[in-house]
Structure 1
């Protein structure tokens, strides 16, 4: 085994954690963000005269999704393959960059909570608006757990 490689047990644990992140979070985000954007555009259009409508939410979700898609691609194409090859001293740089991007997502999540009034539709909101709030809350919660898993478990294993 090469000197920079991690032990086989860690390789297996790393592989399982990466597979979980890819399936549970990366694929889920790719499915749910377009639906949330669609719902937000519909609510913003249908309720254009309503002062409570989440103005700018669709654009914010689209920005988040664009940033997230680029971030996930860097993980999938660069960082995760490096991890599966055992890491090495240079892995610190892409991990540090990914963690900085996670901090940017935290800021985007604050804006998401603000635009959705903490995921609370107004009294008497239509079914689409209620579904939008539920979808945004799920995206928020999934992103929080996704970043926690990467920062505290996956990345921490390589930063030692």
Structure 2
């Protein structure tokens, strides 16, 4: 699907496509991870600590998305993007933190490699993680590479 052309439409798309989905995905994944970690605690392949990382991400992403929804995106929609340099810098720093968490998830799960004897819950967990990681990486790319540069250029030109 082609992305919306206007920045205002793109912010609405991001909220509807990614923010809503992340809020659905993460609690489910955290719960599945806690189950897998408990049931398979003795397995050397268990992603020990994954539920904690996902719990942390729930809080971090919620704060991040609220900042976008309540401050940055409304300003963009109202045509005040040129004044959003500092909030955009904060969002980019948050994205770097999220990418660090993604790296931890990939390391803990051996890049989502299932053991041969993985149960249904473990399989659902890794399948859901693959979908989440694809979604969040795409979300970050759209903001960093498509949305934010529009306003960083405006800010440079206004100086």
CA distance in 2, matches of 1:69, 1:119: 24
- Residues 89 and 17 (structure 1 numbering): CA distance in 2 closer, same or farther, change over 3 Å? closer
Q: Which residue of 2 aligns with 1:129?
A: 122
In the other structure, the counterpart of 2:156 is: none
Q: Secondary structure at the match of 1:113?
A: helix
Deviation of 1:25 (Å): 0.3
Q: What residue is the counterpart of 1:14 in the other structure?
A: 7
The 8 Å contact of residues 87 and 158 in structure 1, kept in 2 or not, is answered as: no
1:82-119 Cα offsets, whole Å, 9 max, x none, are 10111254310100110111011111110010111101
Structure 1, unaligned stretches of length 5 or more? Answer: 1-11
Question: Matches of 1:70 and 1:140 in 2, distance apart?
Answer: 19
The equivalent residue for 2:157 is none
Aligned structure 1 segments of 4 or more residues deviating by more than 4 angstroms: none
Task: State which of 64, 84, 87 in structure 2 corresponds to 1:71.
Answer: 64
Partner of 1:43: 36
Say if 2:91 is the partner of 1:98. Answer: yes
Question: What's the TM-score once normalised by structure 2's chain length?
Answer: 0.90
How much does 1:63 deviate? Answer: 0.6
CA shift at 1:19, angstroms?
A: 1.3
Counterpart check, 1:115 vs 2:108 = yes
TM-score (norm 1): 0.89
